[in-house]
Chain A
Amino acid sequence: MDAMQYEAPGSVDEAVALLAAADGAAWVLAGGTDLLVQLRADLIEPGLVVDIKGISELRAITPENGGFRIGAAVTGAELGEHEGVKAVWPGVVEAMELIGSVQIQGRATLGGNLCNASPAADSVPALIAAEALCSVVGPKGRREVAVAEVATGPGETSLGPGEIVVDILLPERPARAADAYLRFIPRTEMDIAVVGVAVSLVLDERGVCAQARVALGAVAPRALLVPEAAAALIGGTVDDDALERLAAAARAACRPIDDMRGTVAYRTKVAGVLARRAAGIALARARSE
């Protein structure tokens, strides 16, 4: 039986070199809150684990053009204590903070949640609704990718061999903009989303919804952006009628599976309920801007 190799490089270049040389059976370790569970459950058998927590640039939150560049290894607890990000992207922060428990928040990272590629990842719908971009560095250099393009299916990503997500860019926001994320779990914490819904919207001076993005989690093989749901909000004042149309569009977009966490019917129904409620929260936040 081959022993597992553990490396903790100090730079992105070193990490990329290690991963590229490992030829397959290598895994990136950020917070480890998914990786170690999979390891212990014998779901994965890595030959090499590359711990990226020692790379300082991956641990930083940097303001950039009115938005924020968030290192892939920034933890939920760190994000949750960042007043700047919280003020501009409250939905993204609340999504990240819902993961696990207080202890897990001290380890779990935004980059890890994205790259674990769970269809039920909490931060991902919020990042998609936020139109976030991420920087990917690999043997061939650096590229920018929409967050929505990272996960391709359960546990599957578009990242090439040796590629690492190093940071996530949340863009600048205009006035009267806000986002919100809600998920359904049977408990109050320590659970996996049965359904997750993120809504991001921008109001004009008259209170009419000028822009909106709606993303759903846990109702398809990967988080879904639902333009039809956003369309229900855009151009109106987000009244009850619009919220009902939003809910209907969200339900129509669901392609869930029956599993032990929820049935197709349940997930679909609750997706509509949460879409309506999340939009209501985002609206209230945008109005109070």
Chain B
Amino acid sequence: MATEVKELKWIGKRPIRPDGVDKVTGRAKFGADLTLPGMLVGKVLRSPHAHARIKSIDTTKARALAGVKAVVTSADLPELASEWVPAGELQINFRDLSSNILARQKVFYDGHAVAAVAATSAALAKQALALIEVDYEVLPHVIDVVAAMQPEAPLLHDDLFTEGVTPTPETPSNIAKRVEFARGDLEAGFAQADAVVERDYTTKPVHQGYIEPHAVVASTSEDGQSEVWCSTQGQFSVRFYIAKLLSMEISQIRVTPSEIGGGFGGKTTVYLEPLAVLLSRQTGRPVKMVMTRAEVFRATGPTSGAALSVKIGATKDGTVTAAEATLRYQAGAFPGSPVQPGAMCAFAPYAFETFKVVGYDVVVNRPKVAAYRAPGSPIAAFGVESALDELAKRLEIDPLALREKNAAREGTHAAYGPRYGPIGFVETLQAVREHPHYQAPLGPNQGRGIASGFWFNIGGESCAMLNVAEDGTVVVVSGNPDIGGSRASLAMMAAEVLGIDFERVRIIVGDTSTIGYTFLTGGSRVTFATGMAVVQAAEDVVRQLRERAAKVWEISADAVIWEDGQAHPAGANAGEFEPLSLRDIAAEAGKTGGPICGNASLNAQGAGPGFGTHICDVEVDKETGRVTILRYTAVQDAGRAVHPSYVEGQLQGGAAQGIGWALNEEYVYDEDGRLQNPGFLDYRVPVASDLPMIEAVIVEVPNPNHPYGVRGVGEVPIVPPMAAVANAIENAIGVRMCDLPMSPPRLLAAIDNGG
């Protein structure tokens, strides 16, 4: 598939988004918006302890309360063996997932689900929760990743033996896995260096912060068929997980995704959905479950907090001779942190010859981590990009020049394995160098930082269907919930192939029974992979349109070409006919063979890696430690921006989340391991007035594996901000911050301690 260099009608334009009106008018139907006749309210009882053994659960009194229709505990769930399956960019273990949605022998974190009830009203459901008697034996707990790795740390799972070390340890620990990526002679590399920077860094777990809490309605009929409506990034994943967790057949379950109020990776797993099905199965009535914000914080997401050690050495000219990193990531209550992708991403932007990255996946008494935008990469990048900045300073080299000197290019043997095809990292650095922001003057206590970031992006399985209506308008059915503008980009690609107006293409997100299996919305895959399926389905329609025109003209289909939304004879030899438009052919479809619908199913390969470089200006109030973001520019290679406004939105959104991660977001636990700030008041994501207008600059180095050159764009922009902010602070006041968040009290303490 070569990238065509021809004039495109829709790709690169900015039409009005198909989902816009419903969202700005409040008409869009989110997870909690569905109401069914006879519907019950389901609620979850959660552990008040960070770590405890469940000695007994007595639900007698709750069941006896009038209006309570069902009470379930882990005893109602089948016991599952340990089995890992891919779930977006992370892996899910069904045994652990089952224990996470309802605790078995032990609770592992404050907020861990213990039981669920269904009652005729929310008030009764709440009352029923208070009547459930759980006898806990409180156990010592561990919150911090480094503490959890110590031999004397409280042990979460007595059957957890570190994977990835030989021989396998004989005693269990909280270290679930060790991973390593290495090449070259590290010692010799560091010996060649003229300067070496070696630092420890820490990052805090941060929540995805989607505005819409988890919500589901489930209805199970007497013959065991379940219908589920929920807010999710992947209706097919929800279907599969419910089937696994409740031992059902996949075809018994139909999952319809609602409009989604944010996911950022956090809605690639399940919490309430299997419980709602279980409760509806037991009661024979629809059951609705909606989390409170406090439940979202206590029991879902976040991404890992981490402790990192980074060491990088370079010669005087800036050539990195060796780089080493140790990454210790919190997985939460069960194994499965994004330390492996973190380790793979750590040095991915650079053509380092000699490096070693070691990663540890560590369980702690916090909620199990979920995917969050480029899982693992931002954490590693905070350390690596901070260390590179310090190295540049020590070598008296422009930090941009240091990155240019070592940048990965086409053909570079990536640190995580493959050789890169065409990539746009150097182009992002070039765009930064040429941007007026990079040279703009700064005032006192102001500083500028840059940092880069990488994400793989993925492809995978997708289906698409195009139905041509009698009037020649087209409906596209996609299997991906739209969290980043994919309805617009997919419809634009369909319009492009068909050569018709964008306004004549509508698009819906199908449920699991209306469209073929499509892997979830994640990994920045949809515009790439499902986009490719839409292009192929549209090509399938074009083929049929040519056949229909050929039939009308009584010539061979090979003699018909499709151009500008019309069938034309291929040349003079084909005969002379007036062109037939899509509208003309659709109107007569019944007479030429029946309705026209196009289909495609594929497993997309060749996702284009994404790179970005950010410029951040800050001003530091040295008396309060407050950091103001003065100006921010995010540059990224999009391959090809199908709808540039959406790409810009992704760059801005990722940067905003990264700035929150950098400056204020953190979980505060008390000494008993209870979360103190389960709400947006004290879990501080940035508000609009905290940020300047973030300028997005799109660089386009086409991905040769996509018909229009698309690369995923959604995840890279959250990778650079933490280091960009830290580097800017250092340049403003000479204080190097190695611990996140760089909140006012923490920064003031660092300033007072002389950095």
**Residue B82 lies at the interface, judged by CB distance under 8 Å to chain A:** no
- Contact between chains at A186 and B684 (CB < 8 Å): yes
Once A260-B676, A266-B745 are accepted as A-B contacts, the answer to whether A184 and B624 lie under 8 Å apart by CB is yes
- The proximity string for A residues 93-123 relative to B, scoring 1 for CB distances below 8 Å and 0 otherwise, is 0000000010000000000000000000000
- Contact between chains at B677 and A260 (CB < 8 Å): yes
Q: How far does the alpha carbon of A184 sit from the alpha carbon of B743 in the complex, in Å?
A: 12
Stretch at the interface among B156-164, B497-505, B583-591, B685-693: B685-693
Q: How far does the alpha carbon of A260 sit from the alpha carbon of B749 in the complex, in Å?
A: 16
- Contact between chains at A260 and B668 (CB < 8 Å): yes
Q: How far does the alpha carbon of A194 sit from the alpha carbon of B664 in the complex, in Å?
A: 14
**Residue A270 lies at the interface, judged by CB distance under 8 Å to chain B:** yes
Q: Is chain B's interface secondary structure helix, strand, loop, or mixed overall?
A: loop
Min CB distance A118 to B, Å, is 12
- Contact between chains at B748 and A266 (CB < 8 Å): yes
Q: How far does the alpha carbon of A184 sit from the alpha carbon of B626 in the complex, in Å?
A: 9
Q: Within A27-76, which residues are at the interface with B (CB < 8 Å)?
A: 40-41
> Which of chain A's residues has its CB closest to B124's CB?
A1
- Contact between chains at A186 and B743 (CB < 8 Å): yes
> Which of chain B's residues has its CB closest to A101's CB?
B687
**Residue A146 lies at the interface, judged by CB distance under 8 Å to chain B:** no
**Residue A284 lies at the interface, judged by CB distance under 8 Å to chain B:** no
Once A184-B744, A266-B744 are accepted as A-B contacts, the answer to whether A189 and B687 lie under 8 Å apart by CB is yes
**Residue B4 lies at the interface, judged by CB distance under 8 Å to chain A:** no
- The proximity string for A residues 184-199 relative to B, scoring 1 for CB distances below 8 Å and 0 otherwise, is 1011111110100000
Once A261-B682, A270-B624 are accepted as A-B contacts, the answer to whether A187 and B748 lie under 8 Å apart by CB is no
**Residue B1 lies at the interface, judged by CB distance under 8 Å to chain A:** no
**Residue B294 lies at the interface, judged by CB distance under 8 Å to chain A:** yes
- Contact between chains at B690 and A187 (CB < 8 Å): yes
Q: Within A207-252, which residues are at the interface with B (CB < 8 Å)?
A: none
Q: How far does the alpha carbon of A270 sit from the alpha carbon of B668 in the complex, in Å?
A: 21
- Contact between chains at B687 and A190 (CB < 8 Å): yes
**Residue B554 lies at the interface, judged by CB distance under 8 Å to chain A:** no
Min CB distance B676 to A, Å, is 5
**Residue B81 lies at the interface, judged by CB distance under 8 Å to chain A:** no
> Which of chain B's residues has its CB closest to A273's CB?
B623
Min CB distance B294 to A, Å, is 7
Q: How far does the alpha carbon of A263 sit from the alpha carbon of B743 in the complex, in Å?
A: 12
Q: Is chain A's interface secondary structure helix, strand, loop, or mixed overall?
A: loop
**Residue B85 lies at the interface, judged by CB distance under 8 Å to chain A:** no
Q: How far does the alpha carbon of A188 sit from the alpha carbon of B743 in the complex, in Å?
A: 13
**Residue A269 lies at the interface, judged by CB distance under 8 Å to chain B:** yes
> Which of chain A's residues has its CB closest to B686's CB?
A187
Neighbouring B residues of A188 by C-beta, 8 Å:
687, 689-690
Q: Within B668-718, which residues are at the interface with A (CB < 8 Å)?
A: 668, 676-677, 680-682, 684, 686-687, 689-690
Size bin of chain B's contact surface: 20 to 34
**Residue B251 lies at the interface, judged by CB distance under 8 Å to chain A:** no
- Contact between chains at B664 and A187 (CB < 8 Å): yes
- Contact between chains at B677 and A262 (CB < 8 Å): no
Q: How far does the alpha carbon of A266 sit from the alpha carbon of B745 in the complex, in Å?
A: 6
- Contact between chains at A41 and B294 (CB < 8 Å): yes
Neighbouring B residues of A184 by C-beta, 8 Å:
624, 626, 744
Neighbouring B residues of A190 by C-beta, 8 Å:
680-681, 687
> Which of chain A's residues has its CB closest to B292's CB?
A40
Q: How far does the alpha carbon of A189 sit from the alpha carbon of B664 in the complex, in Å?
A: 14
**Residue B572 lies at the interface, judged by CB distance under 8 Å to chain A:** no
- Contact between chains at B624 and A260 (CB < 8 Å): no
Neighbouring B residues of A270 by C-beta, 8 Å:
623-624, 748
Q: Within B617-634, which residues are at the interface with A (CB < 8 Å)?
A: 623-626
- The proximity string for B residues 494-535 relative to A, scoring 1 for CB distances below 8 Å and 0 otherwise, is 000000000000000000000000000000000000000000
**Residue B123 lies at the interface, judged by CB distance under 8 Å to chain A:** yes
Once A184-B626, A266-B748 are accepted as A-B contacts, the answer to whether A260 and B682 lie under 8 Å apart by CB is yes
Neighbouring B residues of A265 by C-beta, 8 Å:
749
Q: How far does the alpha carbon of A41 sit from the alpha carbon of B680 in the complex, in Å?
A: 13
**Residue B127 lies at the interface, judged by CB distance under 8 Å to chain A:** yes
Neighbouring B residues of A266 by C-beta, 8 Å:
625, 744-745, 748-749
Neighbouring B residues of A263 by C-beta, 8 Å:
745
Q: Which residue of B123, B624, B676 contacts A1 across the interface (Cβ within 8 Å)?
A: B123
Min CB distance B301 to A, Å, is 19
Question: Which of A186, A189, A190, A273 has most B Cβ within 10 Å?
Answer: A186
- The proximity string for A residues 4-16 relative to B, scoring 1 for CB distances below 8 Å and 0 otherwise, is 0000000000000
- Contact between chains at A186 and B744 (CB < 8 Å): yes
Q: Within B621-650, which residues are at the interface with A (CB < 8 Å)?
A: 623-626
Min CB distance B266 to A, Å, is 22
- Contact between chains at A191 and B684 (CB < 8 Å): yes
Q: Which residue of B124, B677, B689, B749 contacts A189 across the interface (Cβ within 8 Å)?
A: B689
Q: How far does the alpha carbon of A266 sit from the alpha carbon of B752 in the complex, in Å?
A: 11
Q: How far does the alpha carbon of A192 sit from the alpha carbon of B677 in the complex, in Å?
A: 13
Q: Within B398-444, which residues are at the interface with A (CB < 8 Å)?
A: none
Q: How far does the alpha carbon of A263 sit from the alpha carbon of B745 in the complex, in Å?
A: 8
Min CB distance A270 to B, Å, is 5
Q: How far does the alpha carbon of A101 sit from the alpha carbon of B292 in the complex, in Å?
A: 22
Neighbouring B residues of A101 by C-beta, 8 Å:
687
- Contact between chains at B668 and A262 (CB < 8 Å): no
Q: Within A171-192, which residues are at the interface with B (CB < 8 Å)?
A: 184, 186-192
Q: How far does the alpha carbon of A194 sit from the alpha carbon of B676 in the complex, in Å?
A: 16
Q: How far does the alpha carbon of A101 sit from the alpha carbon of B680 in the complex, in Å?
A: 14
Neighbouring B residues of A273 by C-beta, 8 Å:
623-624
Q: Within A259-278, which residues are at the interface with B (CB < 8 Å)?
A: 260-263, 265-266, 269-270, 273
Question: Which of B124, B127, B690, B743 has most A Cβ within 10 Å?
Answer: B690
> Which of chain A's residues has its CB closest to B669's CB?
A260
Neighbouring B residues of A192 by C-beta, 8 Å:
681-682
Neighbouring A residues of B663 by C-beta, 8 Å:
186
Once A1-B123, A260-B676 are accepted as A-B contacts, the answer to whether A187 and B684 lie under 8 Å apart by CB is yes
> Which of chain A's residues has its CB closest to B127's CB?
A1
Neighbouring B residues of A191 by C-beta, 8 Å:
681, 684
Neighbouring A residues of B684 by C-beta, 8 Å:
186-187, 191
Neighbouring B residues of A41 by C-beta, 8 Å:
294
Neighbouring A residues of B677 by C-beta, 8 Å:
260
- The proximity string for B residues 265-301 relative to A, scoring 1 for CB distances below 8 Å and 0 otherwise, is 0000000000000000000000000001010000000
- The proximity string for B residues 94-126 relative to A, scoring 1 for CB distances below 8 Å and 0 otherwise, is 000000000000000000000000000001100
> Which of chain B's residues has its CB closest to A1's CB?
B123
Min CB distance A190 to B, Å, is 5
Min CB distance B526 to A, Å, is 32
Min CB distance B747 to A, Å, is 10
> Which of chain B's residues has its CB closest to A42's CB?
B126
- The proximity string for B residues 113-146 relative to A, scoring 1 for CB distances below 8 Å and 0 otherwise, is 0000000000110010000000000000000000
Once A192-B681, A260-B677, A260-B682 are accepted as A-B contacts, the answer to whether A186 and B664 lie under 8 Å apart by CB is yes
Q: How far does the alpha carbon of A273 sit from the alpha carbon of B751 in the complex, in Å?
A: 15
Question: Which of B127, B686, B745, B748 has most A Cβ within 10 Å?
Answer: B745
Q: How far does the alpha carbon of A191 sit from the alpha carbon of B682 in the complex, in Å?
A: 8
> Which of chain A's residues has its CB closest to B681's CB?
A192
Min CB distance B660 to A, Å, is 10
> Which of chain B's residues has its CB closest to A192's CB?
B681
Min CB distance B517 to A, Å, is 40
Neighbouring B residues of A260 by C-beta, 8 Å:
668, 676-677, 682
> Which of chain A's residues has its CB closest to B666's CB?
A260
Q: How far does the alpha carbon of A222 sit from the alpha carbon of B12 in the complex, in Å?
A: 58
Min CB distance B340 to A, Å, is 32
Q: How far does the alpha carbon of A190 sit from the alpha carbon of B683 in the complex, in Å?
A: 11
Q: How far does the alpha carbon of A200 sit from the alpha carbon of B535 in the complex, in Å?
A: 69
Neighbouring A residues of B664 by C-beta, 8 Å:
186-187
Q: How far does the alpha carbon of A261 sit from the alpha carbon of B749 in the complex, in Å?
A: 15
| Contact sample, A vs B, 8 pairs, CB 8 Å cutoff | A1-B124, A184-B744, A186-B664, A188-B689, A190-B687, A260-B676, A266-B745, A269-B748
**Which 10 pairs across A and B sit closest by C-beta, in order of nearness?**
A260-B668, A266-B745, A188-B689, A273-B623, A186-B664, A188-B690, A190-B687, A260-B676, A1-B123, A187-B690
What 4 additional pairs, Cβ within 8 angstroms, besides A187-B686, A190-B681, A270-B623? Answer: A184-B626, A186-B663, A261-B682, A266-B625
